[in-house]
Amino acid sequence: MSSQSEVALDRRTQSGGAGFIGYLTVGYPDLETSIRAGRALIDAGVDIIELGLPYSDPGMDGPVIQYTGQLALEAGTRTRHVMRAVQELAGSVPILVMTYFNPVHRYGVEGFARDLASAGGAGLITPDLIPDEAAAWIAAATQHDLDRVFLVAPSSTDERLRLTADACRGFVYAASTMGVTGERLRVDDTAEVLVARTRAVGAERVCVGLGVSNAAHAREVGSYADGVIVGSALLRALGDGVASMRHLAVELADAAHASRLPGRP
């Protein structure tokens, strides 16, 4: 049976486009506003929401996500608040939590999976966890019917791509360029190649993140990927208020959703 995320992505690709996946840091600029921002994303047409669990040592995050995460931590945001945000937003679109694995390990892998599922969450994205070391999480996620999203990068070997694709449920997260996350002037040319390589080893759905920041990027990435992931640009807009973020989200959603339609510029 297809998962929530798989259904959401397939619906978009079958209608001539790609899914739009929006990332928010829970607790930025405060917990209630981050939840309101999630509702605004849903209203704007997002297909999947990623809720970031703030982390004290975000080695893979770019400056915007690091900044928002630090503010959220200083305001007291913890795992229980992320679970609350999931519960508040679940029901309209799949809600995935994105987190480094240490907070999950400290919480208890089985307990985290149980509580995430109970809150209505669809699964987990774990950027620093590789399938070889994920046996406990894969078992817990399987037991609680949760997506398991792992990352691939341009440096990944074909064997690593195959291992990751086999371990994922929901989609494979393709990092479009090497290095940390963040907005870029253009999406790295290696993204399309990485998507093709990942599909060639068996991945059914591949979504691209890292660097997508405007409608042109979303349209380009959506022409070859199953989903377009945007984080830093949305958070930057959120700094100007929920309405500003929603305006950008509408543009991104429209571009992703129509990215494969005939005659689309």
Catalytic hit among 47, 50, 183, 188: 50
CB 8 within 8 Å of CB 207: no
> Is-contact 171 6, C-beta < 8 A?
yes
The CA distance from 131 to 45, in Å, is 32
Q: What's this model's pTM, rounded to 2 decimal places?
A: 0.94
Report the DSSP pairing between strands 147-149 and 151-152: unpaired
The DSSP annotation for 222-241 comes to HTTSSEEEE-HHHHHHHTT-
Q: Which residue has the tokens 């999406």?
A: 187
110 counts as catalytic = no
CB 235 within 8 A of CB 181: no
pLDDT < 50 regions, the chain: 178-185, 264-265
Q: Are 86 and 51 in contact (CB under 8 A)?
A: yes
61 carries an active-site annotation: yes
Q: How many CB atoms lie within 10 A of CB 106?
A: 10
Domains, the chain: 4-148+213-256 (3.20.20.70)
Task: Determine the pLDDT at residue 69.
Answer: 95
Q: Single out the catalytic residue among 6, 47, 61, 147.
A: 61
CA distances from 101 to 22, 107, 128, 190, 252 (A): 20, 10, 7, 27, 29
Residues in the chain: 265
Which helix (H) or strand (E) segment is 101 a member of?
A: helix 101-107
Query: pLDDT digit string (tens) for 208-251?
Result: 987 788 999 999 999 999 999 999 999 999 999 999 999 999 99
Q: How many Å is the Cα radius of gyration of the chain?
A: 17
Tokens (6 digits) for 160: 């690593």
